[in-house]
Amino acid sequence: MKNKKIFVACDTSNINKIKKIISQIKSNKIEIIPKFGLQFFYSKQGRKFLEKIQSDFWLDLKINDIPQTALSAIDSLKDLKKCKYITVHANGGLEMLKSIKKKAKKINKNLKVLGVTILTSLNNKSLKEIGHTKNVEQLVLRQAALIKKSGCDGIVCSAQEAMMVRKRQKKLLIITPGIRLPGDSPNDQMRIMSPKQAFKNKVSGIVIGRSLTKGNIKNNIKKLNDHLNK
């Protein structure tokens, strides 16, 4: 597990639940970093909470807009000193990605910019409905190359594409959502994988949500640790 990162998806707008998750993911066996998405960030108390949080976190906003608007969005986050990861969407194009990486470096030298590829809730049928003529793997590879060219630090893709991406992108961080412990429901995810298999696929880190946060969090962390060490 050395140098492998584990993120927990804090998908709630309830401050008390967030505090509970943060307090209970502290473990002397596994380092787990909280990830906050749109639901929490847009909530009434979410933004204020992130201003004062004492632990490193990932802000998963998937920024996707014209370059100047995207830059303004990044600039507005400069007071969030503990934010160590931010997501932008590859669909925004090369200039947007390059601009965001340049701005992020100025406001926080430790801030990692991750480019999001095809969401794990989508499959080839979904892409065809949108109007794409390429399949998931082809698009992820193309977007990964674009993210690399932009200078961003890493990509977000499903673990199913990770090995394929790693063969071409040796140095990029590869972070994978859609992670479930064995036996857990896939819920709204299409392209899922277990934590252990994801790390075998050469990912740098995994995002795990309901498998950790539903029910007894400490017991779930023990299950995760046991699973990874089998």
Instruction: List, by residue number, the catalytic residues.
Output: 62
Q: Which residues, 6+ apart, have CB-to-CB distance to 102 below 8 Å?
A: 151
CA distance 185 to 136: 22
Which residue's structure tokens are 């977000």? 156
Q: How far is CA 181 from CA 11, 19, 118, 169, 222, in A?
A: 17, 23, 22, 27, 11
Q: How far is CA 130 from CA 63, 134, 194, in A?
A: 19, 11, 28
Cα 66 to chain centroid distance, Å, stands at: 22
Helices (H), 64-168: 67-75, 94-107, 124-130, 136-150, 159-168
Residue type, 217: I
Do residues 70 and 100 touch, judged by C-beta distance below 8 A?
yes
